[in-house]
Structure 1
C-alpha cells in the first residue's frame, strides 16, 4: 500500500482513476479516457444539527477548488461510528475513505491495520503547525495515523461575579484552594461554590495532579491501586463532601442539572470542556460573556495541573486504492488547513488544533480564548487501543466511592480487577 504521493503523482492518479471508493461499492466503468472525477466518501461524526452545516460548506469549497475530486458526504451518528467503521473495515466493504474519528478510537483502528500512516503525505505536510501533544495523540507506534481536526480539554469554569461576592480575586490553583473557596462562596454569596460531575473522565485531573494515570504503558502496569491514584481519588472524595460543594447528583439527569445550576448562578464553579461554552453563554448568569472565568484545573500534591485531551482526528482507510487514498490525503489537508480550522472555530465555537488558526477573529470568542490558554495543561492519552474502555469500570466504581457505598481502596481494587480483563498482560499494583 502506498504511503505518500507527490503532487504530480496525485494529479496523475486522480486523472486516470475511474473507480469509486470501497464505501460506495461501485467499480470502475468505461475507459480511462472517459474517466470522471474520483469520488471519496467521508463519514462526518459531528453534531448533525449544529456543526455539520459548516463541514458541508467546506466540502463544497473543496470540490470547487479541486474539480477532479468529489466528496460523498455522509453524516454518521457519533455513538454508532466506531462500531460501524470497525465492522465495515473488517469486512473489507463499506468503509469510508476518510472519517472524523474520536482520538480514543485511533489506536485500536491502527492496531487492526485499518488505517494508512500519513507521515510524508500531503495530509501531514504542515504537521509542524499543530499543537505537539495533539500530534502525539494521533501517533501510534511511531507512525502518524490521523491529522487533528478539533480538540478539547477540561478547565475550571467559574462565575466571576459570585467569586467577587466572596472576595475571591483569582481562580484556585490547587484542590485545597478550591475547597476553601467553595466554602467561602457558600458563606458570602449563598450558593454552592463547586459541583462535580461524577464521571471517570472528569476525575482524570485528580490522577494527573498526583503524577499518575490509569495505566503505565512503559511499565505495563495498571495504576488504579497505586499510592498516587489512591491519593488523587481520596482528594476528590474529600472535595465533594466538603462544605460549600453541591450534593453529588448521580441521577440520569445529573449532568444537565449541574449545567443548569451553573448557568443560572446556583453554582459558582465546575470542571467542564469547551463543548459546553455555547450553552453556558445562554445561561442567565452569563448574558455578559465576560462573567465566565476559565482557568487550568487545579493541581494536586505533585504540583502540576493536568487535564485529558479529547477531540477528533481525520483518518484515512487503508483499504482504499491508491487513487482514492491520494484524494483522501488532499481532502484531509484541506479540512485541517489553517483557513478551514478558522472557519470551523468561528462557526462551531470549537478549538482549533493548530497554532496559526488562533487568529483575532477566532479568539474574539472568550470561550475559545480561555481554553487556548489552558491547552498547555492537556495530557495526551496513552496509545493503547483499550485505554478508552477503562473509563467504564473506573466510572462505575467512582460513583460508588463518591456516594459512600465503598471505600477508595475497595473501589479502586474493584476497578483493577475489571481493568485486568481488558488488559490481561498488565500487572496490578
Structure 2
C-alpha cells in the first residue's frame, strides 16, 4: 500500500489539534446497502499525514462487501478524554485507539470486549510478542497492539565526538560524567551545550511521565505494590532516581527551560531520552541533524536498564450487535502485514517474526537491515516487562497529573525530594482507595 508517512511527533501536536472531530470516510448517502456499519474513532497516530488513516479505512472498505467502517479523527489534546466519556455514557464508537496498557475504569466496568469474543483465535493471539500482556485483564486480552514504544537514548554523535567521546554512555555514571564534561568544555569554549536534558522538564510536560518512570524502573522502583493498592514511589528506589535526576540541575549539567528535542535538533543539547518515535522529529531537522545523531539503549541504572513502554492498540466496545464485524476490521488493521507498515514511523512491530507470513517477515527485516537505529531500539525493547505498564493502569489519571508537578518540582529543586515523592503517593493513594 502507498501513503506511508514519516512520523512527526511532538512538534506536530499543535497542528493536528486543528483537526478537531472530522469524519474522513465517504458520504453516507453513497454507501451501498446491506452492509454492517462500524464506527472507528482514533487520534492521528500517523502524525503530520492524517490522510493516511482515511486511506487505510478506504482500503479496508474496498477489500470486502459486508462491512462499512466510518472513521472519525480526533485531536491528541482532547481525543482520549472524548472517547472515554462517550464510551462510559454508552454513546461511544464501536472501535477506538487506546494506549497500550488500557484504562482500568473501562476494563473494570465491563466496557471493553475481550479479543476472543471478536473472532480472534488462539493462533491469532499467540502471534503477538509476550509484551502483549500489558493488555490483559483477568486472564483475557482486550487490546490488539498496533505497535509498541520504548524510551531510548538519543545522542548527537557530532557533539560527543567533538568532546572526546566515541560511544554513547552505557551506565548512569557514564551518562552523568559524559554530560558534565560536554557542558563544562563547551562553556569554556564559548558556546555552552547542555550535555543532557530530561524530556518533560521543558517543551512537553507530559513527557516527564515516561522519563520519570524509566529512571524509577532502572533504580529498582515500582509504581504500586503487587496488589496495586498502594502507591510506592516514596521509597529508597524513588529517592535514588529523583536525587540522580536532580543532580544534573544541582551540578549545572542541565538547565531548566531548555527544550530537549528542540535543543537536540539545534545542536544545543547533546543527549536526551524519549520514545523512539521521536526519531521522525529529529530526522525532520534535515541538514541540522542529518548524519549527526544516533540511537542507543538506555544507560543502565543501579538495578536494570528497563524503560517506559508505550504505543497504541485497538479495542472494541462490549455488547456490539455484530462483534464479528468489528473483529474483522480490527484483525485487518492490526494484522502483521498492516502493522509492518507502521515501522515506517518507527513503531515497534508487535508480532513474533517467527510466527508471521514469509512476505511480512521480509518487509520487517528490511526495516531492521536498512536503519541502524533498530538494533538499539530492539535491545531496549527486550529489556522490558509488562509490570510497569500494568501498575500504571491503577491510579493512572492521578499519577500522571501528580508526576507532572511533583517530579518536576523535586528535580529542579523547588520541593525537597522526600516531599515530592510523598506528594505523589498521597495523590495516587486517594485514587487507588476510591477517593
Q: Structure 2 residue aligned with 1:172, among 169, 172, 175?
A: 169
Aligned to 1:378: 384
> Which one has a bigger Cα radius of gyration?
1
Q: Structure 1 residue aligned with 2:125, among 124, 127, 138?
A: 127
Aligned to 1:295: 296
Aligned to 2:415: 406
Alpha-carbon separation, structure 2, partners of 1:273 and 1:262:
15
Aligned to 2:308: 308
Alpha-carbon separation, structure 1, partners of 2:198 and 2:156:
15
**TM-score normalised by L of structure 2:** 0.80
Q: Structure 1 residue aligned with 2:364, among 349, 353, 359?
A: 359
How far the C-alpha of 1:97 sits from its partner, in A, is 1.2
The 3 A distance-change label for structure 1 pair 113 and 78 is farther
Query: Does structure 2 conserve the Cα–Cα contact (< 8 Å) formed by 1:398 and 1:411?
Result: yes
Q: In the TM superposition, what are the counterparts of 1:162-311 in structure 2 within 5 Å?
A: 162-189=159-186, 191-197=193-199, 198=201, 199-218=208-227, 220-243=229-252, 245-249=253-257, 257-283=259-285, 287-289=289-291, 291-302=292-303, 304-311=304-311
Q: Tell whether 2:151 aligns with 1:154.
A: yes
Aligned to 1:107: 104
How far the C-alpha of 1:187 sits from its partner, in A, is 4.3
How far the C-alpha of 1:90 sits from its partner, in A, is 2.9
Aligned to 2:9: none
How many positions carry a matched residue from both structures?
380
CA RMSD of aligned residues (A): 2.6
Measured against aligned partners, the alpha-carbon deviations of 1:177-223 in whole angstroms (never above 9, x if no partner) come to 11111122234555221111222331112210121122123363221
Query: Does structure 2 conserve the Cα–Cα contact (< 8 Å) formed by 1:308 and 1:379?
Result: no
Q: Structure 1 residue aligned with 2:138, among 118, 128, 141?
A: 141
Alpha-carbon separation, structure 2, partners of 1:215 and 1:233:
17
The 3 A distance-change label for structure 1 pair 129 and 371 is same
Alpha-carbon separation, structure 2, partners of 1:296 and 1:70:
43
The 3 A distance-change label for structure 1 pair 286 and 277 is farther
Query: Does structure 2 conserve the Cα–Cα contact (< 8 Å) formed by 1:201 and 1:391?
Result: no
How far the C-alpha of 1:43 sits from its partner, in A, is 0.8
Query: Does structure 2 conserve the Cα–Cα contact (< 8 Å) formed by 1:54 and 1:344?
Result: no
The 3 A distance-change label for structure 1 pair 89 and 372 is same
Alpha-carbon separation, structure 1, partners of 2:364 and 2:177:
37
Alpha-carbon separation, structure 2, partners of 1:87 and 1:104:
18
Secondary structure of the structure 1 residue equivalent to 2:115: coil
Alpha-carbon separation, structure 1, partners of 2:238 and 2:383:
19
How far the C-alpha of 1:247 sits from its partner, in A, is 0.5
How far the C-alpha of 1:396 sits from its partner, in A, is 0.9
Secondary structure of the structure 2 residue equivalent to 1:215: coil
Q: Is there any run of 5+ residues in structure 1 with no aligned partner, and where?
A: 1-22, 24-33
Query: Does structure 1 conserve the Cα–Cα contact (< 8 Å) formed by 2:46 and 2:53?
Result: no
Alpha-carbon separation, structure 1, partners of 2:144 and 2:288:
34
Aligned to 2:356: none
The 3 A distance-change label for structure 1 pair 402 and 156 is same
The 3 A distance-change label for structure 1 pair 38 and 101 is same
Query: Does structure 1 conserve the Cα–Cα contact (< 8 Å) formed by 2:195 and 2:269?
Result: yes
How far the C-alpha of 1:367 sits from its partner, in A, is 4.5
